[in-house]
Amino acid sequence: MARKPGKQDTWSDLPLFRHLETGSGRERGEIGPSGAAESVTSPPSAAPSRASGVGSAGSERRTSRTVSPGVRLPGWHDLPPAPPGVRFGTSSWTYPGWFGQVYSRKYRSSGDTVAMLEEYARCPLFNCVGADSTFYRPPGRDTLEAYASVLPEGFQFLGKVYERFTIRRFTSHRKWGADAGRRNPDFLDAARCTDLVVGPWIEALGKKAGPLIFEFQAMYPPDRPGAEAWADLLERFFESLPPGGRYAVELRNPELLERPYFTALARAGVSHVFNAWTRMPPIDEQLRLDGALTAEFTVARALLSRSRTYSDAVDRFKPYDRIREAQPSVRRGIVQLVLEAVGAGRAVYVLVNNRLEGNAPGTIEAIRHLVGQAWRPKGNPVHGVQSG
């Protein structure tokens, strides 16, 4: 039986970045005397304390993961296990600011994508990852195979579908050239989307292929369809995609969150994406909508706090090395979603963006502790989860 989430709502309740808050003066990734860690080749001299992250308070010395010489990463000994079928990951992984938290090396901001993914997948915080860059350019088969080659069995790779298939009308941005401002002839073109995106995704990633997310940017009249017409468009589109894939829809139009939309997704076995975003209802409000759990799996994306723009979040939070502004209501909404979805036998994917609080790994640590406080197993199997 589930308990209500406890009061542990702020990042400061957890140890991951306490050494940054106290200002140890050391380079990020190094551990001061109060939180010293030994390499995995040496046994800890004392039992792990309640804290588990970098620079934890207390005098206990604890084991770290295998890392480069001189760098100590968190051991995560007190990280609560996720409920069966629940996966946590970040929206993208190429952030050098996570050095000393997720990464033992100072990677370049570009060019080290595969190496970073390999080390990311070893971090106990994560058992899935999301790719945002696939929204702007579909990855080639070779790229997807390279990603799959460094992911362990059971790890899931999610990605956003190329925007060419989800934009109703091209924006005025110069990247669209002569198409700027025009209606998009490739909008919801199932055949082209299968050839360019879905087919390579399923074939190259195999069992490591997580859901593909169709993110629809905000639509305005006359391009925004009515509720019934939108539901019909989606249902016909997803019926035409390969049955071997898993698909999810993320909206940026709250007025389209109507019963016909949820019914169409349920008929097609497609998940609604519960998103924390600038102009969308909070996740807990979306969860209360009739029929919002539409598939055997569900996806949550914690992206931005309400009313905050992407550019404002970038300016406030770069280089994403610590939590700057905790969002307790978003955390509680995700916990509620996890508990309700697991109770209904659904698998859950939770993706967190740096732009929500300033540091996605820290946010995930906090949410996992909240879930650990609230969840109690009922012995019911969770459907829609690949083994491993």
41 occurs within a structural domain:
no
**pLDDT exceeding 90 applies to what percent of the chain?**
71
Positive or negative: CA dihedral 100, 102, 104, 106 = negative
Domain count, the chain: 1
Task: Check residue 145 and give its pLDDT.
Answer: 98
Residue 69: its pLDDT value, please? 63
Whether 199 is in a domain gets the answer: yes
For range 245-266, the mean pLDDT? 97
pLDDT at 370: 96
- Cα separation, 262 vs 264, whole angstroms: 5
Averaged pLDDT, 237-241:
97
pLDDT of residue 378: 66
Q: Compare 55 and 302 and report the one with higher pLDDT.
A: 302
Q: What is the pLDDT of residue 48?
A: 31
Using DSSP bridges, classify how beta strands 156-160 and 209-216 pair: parallel, antiparallel or unpaired: parallel
Rounded mean pLDDT of 213-242?
Answer: 96
Q: Which two tokens stand for residue 332?
A: 């509680």
Average pLDDT, the chain: 83
Handedness of CA 267, 248, 305, 165 (dihedral sign): negative
Is position 28 within any domain?
Answer: no
130 and 181 in contact (C-beta within 8 Å)?
Answer: no
Cβ contact 291:259 at 8 Å? yes
Domain of residue 108: give its range: 79-374
Alpha-carbon distance 245 to 384, whole Å? Answer: 12
Token pair in block for residue 116: 């970073």
Q: Is residue 26 one of the residues assigned to a domain?
A: no
pLDDT above 60: residue 387: no
Question: Model confidence at 385, in pLDDT bands (50, 70, 90)?
Answer: very low
Q: What is the mean pLDDT of residues 275-284?
A: 96
Interatomic CA distance for residues 307 and 34, integer angstroms: 39
Average pLDDT over residues 189-213: 97
- Is the pLDDT assigned to residue 151 strictly greater than 80? yes
The yes-or-no verdict on residue 356 having pLDDT over 60 is yes
Q: What is the pLDDT of residues 27-59, one digit of tens each?
A: 333 222 222 232 322 323 333 333 333 322 222
Is residue 326 assigned to a domain? Answer: yes
Residue carrying the six token digits 């019926």: 239
Euclidean distance between CA atoms 148 and 81, whole angstroms: 24
pTM: 0.82
Please check the confidence at residue 316 and state whether its pLDDT lies above 50: yes
pLDDT of residue 143: 97
Distance between CA 328 and CA 376 in Å, rounded? 21
| Of residues 311, 318, 328, 317, the one with CA closest to residue 363 | 328
Strand ranges for 92-239 from DSSP E = 128-131, 156-160, 209-216
29 occurs within a structural domain: no
pLDDT of residue 109: 76
Give the helix ranges, DSSP H, for 112-240.
113-120, 141-150, 190-193, 199-205, 227-239
Quote the percentage of the chain above a pLDDT of 70.
79
Instruction: Kindly state whether residue 23 falls inside one of the protein's structural domains.
Output: no
Phi, then psi, of 86 in degrees rounded to 5: -105, 130
* CATH number reported for the structural domain that contains residue 333 in this entry: 3.20.20.410
pLDDT surpassing 60 at residue 18: no
Q: What is the dihedral of CA 143, 349, 251, 181, to 10 degrees?
A: -10
The answer to whether the beta carbons of residues 205 and 157 sit under 8 Å apart is yes
Q: Is residue 72 part of a domain?
A: no
